[in-house]
């Protein structure tokens, strides 16, 4: 479903409010733009359950905000406030009034332009030394928990390949 939305030729804008966590945020990552109401929080908390973000978050999030910030969000499971999400590039705009009206206005602004597909954004080159250091830190802080270290591997391994291959890395790790 996310790939189908991402592939549409008409702009799709995710209007976020409250909390957009896990699959909800991953769905928004597949949209062409994201707008959030003030007070919205976003995150990928799957590692707290011993899982990975399984709907492309490991491949789309780094393309939007960079590898280091994405790994922080994925491995910490922290919720990012809307203002910080905008600074990172996770959302494109903050609603100034009515969220729905502002989302429609953003979509109208994007109409007629080629959709910005997250999958087509350049993959940032992962810093493998930083990834190994993060894995060592996680092993010390969270002994016996493997989801976080696996997520680091999936992000770095996936970004080193074309998007579809990175998604295959993501899927294999999720179902392991």
- Indicate the SS3 state at residue 122: coil
Report d(CA 134, CA 142) in Å as an integer: 12
| 3-state percent helix, strand, coil for the chain, nearest multiple of 5 | 55, 10, 35
- How does DSSP assign 48-66, residue by residue? GGT----SSHHHHHHHHH-
Residues known to be catalytic: 26, 46
């Amino acid at each position: 479903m996310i790939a189908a939305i991402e592939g549409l030729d008409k702009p799709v804008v995710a209007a976020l409010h409250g909390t957009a966590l896990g699959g909800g945020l991953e769905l928004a990552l597949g949209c062409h733009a994201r707008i959030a109401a003030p007070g919205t929080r976003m995150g990928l908390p799957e590692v707290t359950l011993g899982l990975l973000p399984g709907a492309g978050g490991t491949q789309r999030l780094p393309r939007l905000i960079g590898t280091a910030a994405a790994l922080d969000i994925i491995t910490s499971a922290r919720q990012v406030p809307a203002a910080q999400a905008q600074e990172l590039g996770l959302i494109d705009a903050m609603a100034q009034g009515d969220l729905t009206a502002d989302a429609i206005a953003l979509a109208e602004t994007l109409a007629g332009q080629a959709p910005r597909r997250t999958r087509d954004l350049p993959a940032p080159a992962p810093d493998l030394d930083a990834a190994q250091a993060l894995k060592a830190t996680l092993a010390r802080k969270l002994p016996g928990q493997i989801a976080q270290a696996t997520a680091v591997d999936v992000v770095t391994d996936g970004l080193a390949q074309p998007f579809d291959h990175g998604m295959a890395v993501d899927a294999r790790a999720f179902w392991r």
